[in-house]
Chains A and B, each alone.
Chain A
């Protein structure tokens, strides 16, 4: 047995099963006030599923409106609020918290052999801050919502008459939730690794969460204070971003993107981490380039801080600034390509098991490479002048952010579902759902690249008729995507209710978390484990049933 449990507790009898974390306690309060990282993860899962659904409904309404050049199902003001709320919900309430909040919380302690995160109460506080942010946001939406776009550019956001304050407050509070989660994760990784888990034995998902947390701690406060300045300006007229009082609206953009560019990596790094786990599990051989994948995470995190200016190429930035930011932006692409090359190389001479999570990973390769390289194309300054603020940008970031993040969120959900809930789902519908989702994503956003080339600006409620056929194509695939997501949701709910009981390691995967029972017991391990192998060391024949 490779995961040796030493220090056997004296009172622990063989066969006297400790109850799992779901059945261990009952009652509403045992969930609402839980300090168990796994239960907090499930709270996150419930909340982000709702916010994802909310953001998705906004998106479908937008796509439906764009079927016709003007006067579709809503008026311009409603449309403007709708795309703002779609952006705010998806960015702040889904993509930033989703993978770290759900799978980070659930598996980070397990993967380093710990009983919990370092600060369980802080962890619960993070969740409630997130929930408070969601509630504030929804409250703002009910009271009319705002029409600034999720970027809140001044002076539009400081002069709009819509309810921008609760939405700004929601983003601010959400920022604190993610800062505290980041602090918690970093400290946990540093202080709670079990014996034997040295740095080069950390699973790549943990490395990804580490990089994410560093960005969260260092970048989030900057946007927090910027949005606070924006809010104060909105109701007190302080003038920091108001040109009529000597302020500079471009300063807002600099401060905003200093966070929001690294925030892209807050969203996408955990997705990369999931990809590494899925590839590691289903290729049945050690991952190629473990060290390179781990190190490139920090390359991305570091250079990600220095590239924000590429969002401002057309703002009147000097050519020198544009050159520096353009150059630095190119470097990020290198670190991402290292990861992709290593994942694909890991399939060479492998023994690949095709499962739903792996299907998602295949889709993810294409979306990430095309989305990532169009990002490099956008950083090519003279091309950006044409593409800036067109549908090309929209398509690019939906490929890399939505495509990659949502796909890997779904991959993670399918991959770890048996471990989290102790149930197996039906593979057939899951696979059909995965294919529909992947084709839906590609089909929805590919026409938007062509729209952008033709010059269709983003955030347009009405448009010249010559853009229409591409919009129609995009909308049709958006519905296919929605269908795929619906099928996936139904399939997983059915599995939750009446799925077969899952064995400890249904995939025959080598990672540490598959050694413990499904679902795990309340403190993960009966005693502090000692881990004596590398995370992707495939352990030979068949599926190892955990000795218990």
Chain B
């Protein structure tokens, strides 16, 4: 494809610069700006769910708090710390890729990845317990005998499952994206002059983390 670049006369065009951009700085700015817009979209995505959450919590405060007590707060806390730590490592990865330290960057990306996977494993275990306790949402809500739970607690579990599964899907996508970036990094695709993918991948990961920071108190710590 001869059309990938257009000759502007000035010979030294870096290979990563696409034809529609006049310089690297602008291309980097565009990628980052695009990611921010996408994150804005993600926030709206979750905000609709938080609306539903707020509305029903206001309607059924008792049912809400009773159901919340059955979530595993310790696990939730560990998951929160785990994600916060991974946000820290991905921030460090961006720092080191800027300095051109390829190996450290790879290691940090790998740690982030591992944290993401650990989060998914822990959350799966939580779902597994809830399944056993009969705490599935909607018409699958059959809490074990002896628990006195209002029927509206099923609504809590519906909101909880829908929101956290959606969040977990985001974590999964994040893990995939960071994995690809890690491989690219090991192949030497990035340099202090060009590290766009690492930067926007990191941005995405921070958002996934941020959403969890909101979800944790909203679902696990209902008074």
- Where the two chains meet, the residues of A that have a C-beta atom closer than 8 Å to any C-beta of B are 7-11, 24, 36, 109, 114-120, 122, 179, 182-184, 186-187, 190-192, 217-222, 224-226, 229, 232-233, 236-240, 242, 245-248, 251, 254-255, 258, 522-523, 527-528
Other-chain contact of B30, A7, A36, A187, A225 (Cβ < 8 Å): A187
Interface of chain B, main secondary structure: helix
Instruction: Please name all residues of chain B whose beta carbon is closer than 8 Å to the beta carbon of A246 when the two chains form the complex.
Output: 56, 59-60, 63, 151-152, 154-155
The CA of A232 and the CA of B162, in the complex, are separated in Å by 9
Spot the interface stretch: B74-82, B114-122, B125-133, B135-143: B135-143
Q: Is the CB of A191 within 8 A of B41?
A: no
**Cβ of B7 < 8 Å from any Cβ of A?**
yes
Determine whether the beta carbon of B138 is less than 8 Å from that of A239.
Answer: yes
Residues in B whose Cβ lies below 8 Å from that of A122: 34
A7 touches B8 (CB 8 A): yes
Bound Cα distance from A522 to B20, whole angstroms: 12
B42→A245 contact, CB < 8 A? no
- The CA-CA distance from A115 to B19 in the complex, in Å, is 8
Which residues of the partner chain B approach A237 to less than 8 Å between Cβ atoms? 138-140
The answer to whether B44 and A236 have CB atoms under 8 Å apart is: no
Residues of chain A lying within 8 A (CB to CB) of residue B30: 118-119, 187, 190-192
Tell which of A7, A222, A232 touches B47, judged by Cβ atoms closer than 8 Å: A222
B164 part of interface (Cβ distance < 8 Å): no
Whether A528 lies near B8 (C-beta < 8 A) is yes
Nearest residue (CB) in A for B158 is A238
A255–B44 alpha-carbon span in the complex (Å): 11
Q: What is the CA–CA distance of A219 and B44 in the complex, to the nearest angstrom?
A: 7
- Compute how far the CA of A267 lies from the CA of B3 in the bound complex, rounded to whole angstroms: 34
A226 touches B48 (CB 8 A): yes
Tell me, rounded to whole Å, the shortest Cβ–Cβ distance linking B39 to chain A. Answer: 10
Contact A218–B162 (Cβ < 8 Å): no
B51 in contact (CB, < 8 A): yes
Residues of B within 8 A of A120 (CB): 18, 20
Which of A116, A220, A245, A246 has most chain B Cβ within 10 Å?
A: A246
Contact among B7, B20, B48, B140 with A221 in the assembled complex (CB-CB below 8 Å): B48
Q: Is the CB of A217 within 8 A of B45?
A: no
> A239, B137: Cβ atoms under 8 Å?
yes
Question: Are B55 and A238 in touch, CB under 8 angstroms?
Answer: no
Q: In the complex, what distance in Å separates the CA atom of A221 from the CA atom of B51?
A: 13
Residues of chain B lying within 8 A (CB to CB) of residue A251: 51-52, 55
| Contact yes or no, B158 A528, CB < 8 A | no
CB nearest to B44 among chain A residues = A221
Besides A115-B20, A222-B48, A248-B56, 17 other CB < 8 A contacts?
A: A9-B8, A24-B3, A183-B34, A183-B37, A190-B30, A191-B30, A218-B40, A229-B52, A232-B162, A236-B138, A245-B139, A245-B155, A246-B56, A246-B60, A255-B51, A258-B48, A527-B8
> Which stretch of B21-29, B105-113, B172-180 is in the interface?
B21-29
* Pairwise interchain contact A239-B155, C-beta atoms closer than 8 A: yes
B20, B42, B152, B155: the one within 8 Å of A192 (CB): B20
B223 at the interface (CB under 8 A from A): no
The reply to whether A245 and B41 form a contact with Cβ atoms under 8 Å apart is no
Cα–Cα, bound, A248→B57 (Å) = 13
B137 to chain A, nearest CB (A): 5
Pairwise interchain contact B41-A221, C-beta atoms closer than 8 A = yes
Residues of B within 8 A of A220 (CB): 41
Partner of A10, one of B7, B45, B60: B7
Residues from chain A with a CB closer than 8 A to the CB of B8 are: 7, 9, 527-528
In the complex, which residues of chain A have a beta carbon less than 8 angstroms from the beta carbon of B3?
24, 36, 522-523
A–B complex contacts, Cβ < 8 Å, 28 sampled: A7-B9, A8-B9, A9-B8, A117-B20, A118-B21, A119-B30, A179-B38, A179-B41, A183-B38, A187-B37, A191-B30, A217-B40, A217-B41, A217-B44, A219-B44, A221-B41, A221-B42, A222-B47, A222-B48, A225-B46, A225-B166, A226-B48, A233-B138, A238-B138, A239-B155, A246-B152, A251-B51, A251-B52
